[in-house]
Amino acid sequence: MGAHADRWIDAYLDHLRVERGLSPHTLEAYAADLSRYLGLLTAAGTTLQAAGPAEIGRTLAELASAGLSTRSQARFLSSLRGLYKHLVREELLAQSPLELVESPRVSRKLPGLLSAPEVLRLLAAPDVSDLRGMRDAAMLHTLYASGLRVSELVELRLAAVDLRAGVLRAFGKGRKQRIVPLGELAIDSIGRYLANVRGRWARAREPRLFVTQRGTGMTRQAFWKNLKRYSRVAGITRRVYPHALRHSFATHLLEGGADLRVVQTLLGHSDISTTQVYTHVSAEHLRTMHRRYHPRA
């Protein structure tokens, strides 16, 4: 039975690699989860084919007692769900034992969320008397004004920015295009960068808006390195992630009263449930305001 299980898992991982095109890193995570699951089943004296909801529940309890986080448990369970669905689809099992097993509730966190004063300090951190500082200020202003993903920022084309109209065209996941407005501060910062920096640095026919001193586009890793440096200059002691300004853009809009559908459009989310991760932060803001100003709070 164990040989069967190993072959089934290998075939499932091949399916994920060939049919789903998952990355080697993701495949390694799946393989590690499924290998761990088989080991736990063997130790409990049962098999992949015989395991039911009770065995899976005991497995999760063991993982929790071993210190595995709720998020890691949810990922582990997701790996199992995928495997069992595949086995049922291939008619190797009659049904999945996970149909009656609920995933652990995972609180979705927003890494690196910045307060409005922190954002202002971060935007002011680059030295705009320096060419590099002008470029970096323009990038930070653009990111916060538009809510772009970092990958969208570094790939942003010069032709996609219309400073006169105050908008840019962003291409998100699946090459979906959206129009995003820019505020006056971002427009001024980009205009200063275009007037003083890009013409000196950019190679001929380089399409990207933001370039390095070598004349080509910047990588996500290089931008993250700059972000960490400027967060230190701004006096932000905790770790600031690449998505920090995107998270802050969405949260500050909602706290200011923006409609969730509008924020969904600006972020380029195809599903509003993806945008709703920001509402718990806004709800906390509302509770804080209620406690502060309501006479009976």
Q: What is the DSSP secondary structure assignment for residue 218, as one 8-state letter? A: P
Active site residue: 7, 89, 109, 173, which one?
173
HSE value, Cβ hemisphere, 13 Å, CA-based, for 240: 24
HSE value, Cβ hemisphere, 13 Å, CA-based, for 198: 23
Active site residue: 149, 198, 247, 252, which one?
149
Check if 246 is active-site.
yes
Active site residue: 135, 243, 247, 252, which one?
243
CA distance 158 to 156: 7
What is the CB neighbour count within 10 angstroms for residue 14?
A: 11
Q: What is the DSSP secondary structure assignment for residue 181, as one 8-state letter? A: E
Q: Who's near 258: CB < 8 A, 6+ residues apart? A: none
H helices of 147-240, in order, are 150-154, 184-193, 199-201, 220-233
> Taken in order 45, 47, 48, 51, is the CA torsion positive or negative?
negative
With tokens 């804080």, the residue in question is 288
Check if 269 is active-site.
yes
Check if 149 is active-site.
yes
CA 140 to chain centre: 18
Check if 278 is active-site.
yes
Active site residue: 86, 135, 198, 269, which one?
269
Active site residue: 135, 198, 246, 252, which one?
246
Residues with catalytic annotation?
149, 173, 243, 246, 269, 278
